[in-house]
Amino acid sequence: MSTEIDAPVGGQADAADNKLDKRVMLVAGVVVLGAVMSILDITVVAVAQRTFQEQFGKTQAQVAWTATGYTLALATVIPLTGWAADRFGPKRLYIMAIVLFTAGSALCSTASNLEMLVTFRVLQGLGGGMLMPLGMTIMTRAAGPERLGRVMAILGVPMLLGPIFGPILGGWLIDIASWHWIFLINVPIGIVAAIYAWRVLDRDQVSPSESFDFIGMLLLSPGLALFLYGVSSIPAAKQEHNSMLTQQVVIPSLVGLALVIAFVPWALRKHNIHPLVQLRLFTNRYMTIAVVTMTLFAMAFFGASLLFTLYFQQVRGETPLSSGWLVAPQGFGAMVTMPIAGFLADKIGPGKVVLTGLVLDTLGMAMLIGVDDKTSYTYIITSFVVMGLGMGSTMMPVFTAALASLKEHDIARGSTLMNITQQIAISMGTALFSVLLTNAYNNHATSTHPTLALQSGATPQQLGLSDAQAQGLMSQGLHFMGQSFGGVFLVATVLVGLCLVPAFFLPRRPPEHHVDPAAALVA
C-alpha cells in the first residue's frame, strides 16, 4: 500500500528523477506557445493606439477600449477557469481557449470600425484569459512539485519578454505592413498551438463534475470587471477632469468592489464546498504569503515598467520602436537568471531565490530615482539589466512557492487565484503610476506652461518668445519631465523594497512531493 501511495501519479515523473525529460519539455512547449500569443498581444496592441486613432478617427480615450475591453474579458473569464478545468479537463479547455483566441485575432484583422474591433478584442480576451492559469495547471501536473521551479522558469520567459519585444514587433509590423498584421500573426501560431496541444497533452481524466457556483459567478466575474474598469479609468479622469472622483471611476469601482466583497462570505459558507474561486486556499500559509508578495511586486514592477518606454518617447524623443529596443536589456538580464533561479528554487526552496531577486529589483529601480533628461543611456540600461536579473529570480519562484505547496486537486484553483491576484495588481499599479506621473506634471504646470504650449505646436512668435527663449523653456520643460519620472520611480522603489517583508517568510526548503492518496489508490 505504501509503495502505491509513494509512486508517481497523474502523469508526474518519478520523484527520484529530477531532470526535465523530453515529455515535460514537450508539454512546456505547448504552454509557452499559448502564453506567447496571449502576452504579446497585450503589448503589441499598445503600440498601435495612435494608428487606431488615425485609422478610425477616434480619440485616445475611445481607442483605449481596444486594450480595456481585452483586460475586462480576462478579468471575467479567469475566475471560471478553475471550475472549467475540473469539469471539462485542462486539455479540452486549453485547446478551446486557443481556438477562441485565434478566431478573435482573425476577426480583429477584419474590423472596419472601432466598435467591431473592441467587440472582437473581447472575444480574444475570453480565450486569452484562460491560457495562463490553464498553462500553469498543465505544467504543474506534468512536472510535479519537485521540478516546478524549472518549468515555471520556462513559462516565465514569455511573461518577461512579451512586454519588451511586443512593442518592437508591433512597431515593425505596422511599419512594414499595416495594423491588421498585429492580429493576423496570431492565426498561424494559434493553428500550430492547437494541433501541438492535441498531439502532445495527455488525455483528460475528468473526475465527477462539481456543481457550478452560479451565484459566485454572478458576484465575482462582473465584480472584477467593474472594479478593474473603474480603476483603469482613473488616469483618463485625472488627465481630463483633474480629479479621480468622477462618475466613470467611482460608480463602477464601488459596485464592483461591493460584488467582490459579497463573494467572500458566499465562498466561505460551510455548505459551499466548490466555490468559483477557492478562498479556503488562504489557510495555506505559503499560498497566502505568495499572494501578498505577488500583489506588491506586480503593482510596483509592472506599473512602473509601463513608464520606461514612455520616458524614452516623451523626454528623450525616441520612436516607439527604438524605445522598445532600449528597454530590451531588461529581458536579456531576466533570461540569464531565470533558468538558474528555477533550478535553485527546486533545490534550496524559492524563499532564498526570491529574496535575492528582490534585492536586485530594488537596487535597479533605485538607480532610476535621479533620472532626468540628460541621464546617460549606459546608466539607464545598466539599471534595466540589474532589474532584469532580479525579475528573473522573483516572479516565477513566487508562483512556485504557491503552487508547490498545494495538493494536486487544488492546483487548478490555486493557479486561478494567483492569476486573478496578478491581474488586479497590474491594473492597480498601472493606474497608480499613471496618476503619480500626471500629478508630477501638474506640479510643474505653472513654470512649464509655455513649454507645454510649444510642445502642442504653438510657435515662439505666437507666445511672444525669441527662439533662444523658446529653446531654453523647452530644455527646462524636458528637465522637469525627466524629474517627474524619477519621483515616480522613487515610489516604485519603496514598494518593491516592501516585498522583502512577506518574501522573508516564503519556504526555504525544496518543495515537497504532494500526492493525492485517493488518486494513488486508483492508479
CATH code where residue 402 lies = 1.20.1250.20
pLDDT mean over 504-517: 66
Q: How confident is the model at residue 464 (pLDDT cuts 50, 70, 90)?
A: low
Q: Which has more pLDDT, 453 or 345?
A: 345
Residue 376 shares a structural domain with residue 502: yes
Same domain as 404, residue 303: yes
State if pTM tops 0.85. no
Q: Does the pLDDT of residue 458 top 70, yes or no?
A: no
Asked if the structure places residue 307 within a domain, the reply is yes
Assess whether 365 and 485 both reside in one domain: yes
Mean pLDDT of the chain: 80
The residue segments making up the domain with residue 114 are: 21-207
CB 145 within 8 A of CB 514: yes
- Which of 180, 207, 234 terminates a domain? The answer is 207
Q: How would residue 463 be classed by pLDDT, with cut points 50, 70 and 90?
A: low
State how far the Cα of 458 lies from the Cα of 452, in Å rounded to an integer. Answer: 9
Is residue 13 within 8 Å of 147, Cβ to Cβ? Answer: yes
The pLDDT of 384-399, averaged and rounded, is 90
pLDDT of residue 469: 54
- Give mean pLDDT, residues 362-382: 93
3-class secondary structure, 405: coil
Closest CA to 10 of 412, 485, 289, 433: 412
Q: How many CB atoms lie under 10 A from the CB of residue 460?
A: 18
Final residue of a structural domain among 161, 186, 207: 207
Does residue 11 sit within a domain? no
Alpha helices in 144-180 (DSSP H): 148-176
| 3-state SS class at 521 | helix
Tell me, what amino acid is at 303? Answer: G
**Helical residues (DSSP H) of 177-297, grouped into ranges:** 181-184, 186-200, 214-232, 234-241, 247-268, 285-297
Residue 203: pLDDT band with limits 50, 70, 90:
confident
For the segment 84-98, the average pLDDT, to the nearest whole number, is: 88
Q: What is the pLDDT of residue 58?
A: 81
Question: Tell me, what's the pLDDT at 465?
Answer: 52
Determine what percent of the chain is predicted with pLDDT higher than 70: 83
> Out of 69-73, 186-190, 196-200, 384-388, which region has the weakest mean confidence (pLDDT)?
69-73
Instruction: Identify the pLDDT of residue 374.
Output: 87
For helices 65-88 and 214-232, angle between their N-to-C axes, nearest 10 degrees: 160
Question: Domain check: are 243 and 159 in the same one?
Answer: no
pLDDT of residue 355 exceeding 80, the answer is yes
5 lies in a domain?
A: no
Task: Give CA–CA dist 129/437, Å, rounded.
Answer: 29
**DSSP for residue 180:** T
CA atoms within 13 A on the CB side of 304: 28
Q: Which of 151, 110, 129, 82 is nearest to 404 (CA)?
A: 151
Q: Are residues 150 and 225 in the same domain?
A: no
Average pLDDT over residues 166-193: 86
* 200 & 325 share domain: no
Please name the residue that has the C-alpha cell 477616434: 58
